[in-house]
Chain A
Amino acid sequence: MLDAGDNTKKMTIIVTKGTLDWAYPPFILGTTAAAMDVEVTMFFTFYGLSLLKKDLDLKVSTLGNPAMQMPMGGMHMSMPNILPIIPGVDRMTTTMMKNLIKKKGVASIEDLREAAVEMDVKMIGCQMTMDLFEIGKEDMIDGIEIGGAATWMEEASKSDINLYI
């Protein structure tokens, strides 16, 4: 991947969301692209920045997720939008999802992020978000870069694929 010739494809992903479910698409696509010899840059901004924290404590909420259905005993259980108003429900939903992830052989976000680092995916934390939410570089994993919109723009203008997730 490092022998970037002229034929090397490039991709950038803007990662804007920090929930367990939304963490999957960028990390799955980023690591798969890297495995397929694509040079990948991931730009983490707003809530997406929390995916770069050393300790991930990702949650999933049924709120705003009317399509969420959990498989249960051969059936599917709908998750009413009103549910997370009850204390502990988001935690329960998160536990259910994490159990499913394990049971179905789906990688954890921690594993995918580690794979991304291993495959030299360039990960950029958004400086403005760090200032806004008072997140320090010491709170985040090693090996990332810090930058802003222009940093992403420079990469994006040279890329074949640019995604916003």
Chain B
Amino acid sequence: MADQVLDAKGLNCPLPILKTKKAIKGMSAGQILKVMATDPGSIADMAAFCNQTGNELVSQSNEGDVYTFEIKVA
């Protein structure tokens, strides 16, 4: 389903966002980036990042300590 997967587990603010941006840069519009993170702050931050940059936060879920985000590249 995802076109690319980014493992940002174990990284703290602002690294998940910086790595997400870097991954998105290399992708095309419409593609899905799946990001996995353990930083609880990334729940709010990933939404804010998507709001600001126009990329769409398609889904967000968590399993235990791992938060998974699916972002559709604008």
Interface band, chain A: 10 to 19
Contact of B49 among A36, A106, A112, A115 (CB under 8 A): A36
Write the chain A residue with the least CB distance to B10.
A105
Q: How far is the CB of A165 from chain B (nearest CB, A)?
A: 15
Residues of chain B lying within 8 A (CB to CB) of residue A32: 14, 17-18
Q: How far is the CB of A155 from chain B (nearest CB, A)?
A: 20
How many A-B pairs with Cβ below 8 Å? 38
B15 contacts A35, CB within 8 Å? no
A94 within 8 A of B: no
Give the size of the chain B interface in residues (CB under 8 angstroms): 15
B12 within 8 A of A: yes
B15 contacts A37, CB within 8 Å? no
Q: How far is the CB of B30 from chain A (nearest CB, A)?
A: 19
A106 contacts B12, CB within 8 Å? yes
A-B contacts, 29 listed (Cβ < 8 Å):
A28-B14, A31-B18, A32-B14, A32-B17, A32-B18, A35-B17, A35-B20, A35-B49, A36-B21, A36-B48, A36-B49, A36-B52, A36-B53, A37-B52, A104-B12, A105-B10, A105-B12, A105-B15, A105-B39, A106-B13, A106-B15, A107-B11, A107-B12, A107-B14, A107-B15, A107-B18, A112-B14, A115-B18, A119-B21
